[in-house]
Amino acid sequence: MIVAHKKDSVVLLVHCKDRKGIVARVAGFIHDFGGNILDSDHHTDEETNDFLMRMEFATEGLQIPVDDIPAAFAPVAKVFDMRYEVRPLSRRTRVGILVSKQDHCLADLLQRQRRDELPIDIPLIISNHDTCASWAELFKIPFMVCPVTKETKPQQEQQVLSLLKAQQVELVVMARYMQILSADFLAQVGCPVINIHHSFLPAFIGANPYRQAYERGVKIIGATAHYATEDLDEGPIIEQDVIRIGHRDTVEDLVRKGRDLEEIVLARAVRRHIERRVLVYGRKTVVFD
């Protein structure tokens, strides 16, 4: 795992309109405080003139407490009218997981976390069913069942929100939650929400994508991890991957092959998010690998 290897480091994410001198100014800022830049990457969208940058620097030798960096950087940010985030990678991200009946993505995330592939804390798993309770028990993570019906959805969402906020969750992962989160929920949750959709978006939006893929006779299926937005299946895409299928594959075979994709694509998206490699702008993401 990268984090374990490197000495302690801080990520600075920056988004502004492109102008001359940004890289030099930000690199100078870090250097002036004694930081050693370990990794830097930036991207300029030539159509929109958006400038997006990620710099990772060592905290060793830093002449300023990490918690003071945001304030110290504020004047630089003001000059370029930047949106920015400062994140020490040693601070583990608090992740709340939403799950329904299918357990494979949940089990996969829990195993990756336990073997330190994903440096996250999981204070809470919430489900509308109790099917996955044994996984929570095995990994000793609090598990809350919040059943939902069409009628009780608003109240259930408020309940879920309270639980997440009580745990100061910084990221919500929909690990095959199978419920659509309302615009209200997304507006109130106060942190990013990552969803895994079981198709190669924008193909096969909506219900039963494996059945749709089967009927269309495609030769390849996919999975897509994206940030949830109020437009269903339209959120900014973080990661996609695909697998080849053939005419012998039934819908059940597609579901089976798709499970492997869903796990891997979701895990990659979560990993990139918590390493602060993803920046959203417009309907798109920049992923600094």
Give residues in contact with a copy of itself (CB under 8 A): 1-2, 4-6, 20-25, 27-28, 30-31, 34-46, 61, 104, 107, 111, 115, 117, 138, 200-204, 215-220, 222, 236-242, 246-248, 250, 252-253, 256, 260, 264, 283-287, 289
Helices 104-114 and 251-274 cross at an angle (nearest 10°) of 40
Given 233, 241, 249, 289, the catalytic residue = 233
Q: How would you classify residue 61: left for phi > 0, otherwise alpha for psi between -120 and 50, otherwise beta?
A: left
233 catalytically annotated: yes
Closest CB 11 distance from a copy of itself, rounded Å: 14
Task: Give 67 or 231: the residue with its C-beta nearer to a copy of itself.
Answer: 231
Task: Give 16 or 30: the residue with its C-beta nearer to a copy of itself.
Answer: 30
Task: Give 20 or 150: the residue with its C-beta nearer to a copy of itself.
Answer: 20
Measured in whole angstroms, the distance separating CA 186 from the mean position of its chain's CA atoms is: 14
Task: Give 140 or 150: the residue with its C-beta nearer to a copy of itself.
Answer: 140
The two structure tokens encoding residue 67: 């918690």
The residues annotated as belonging to the active site are 233
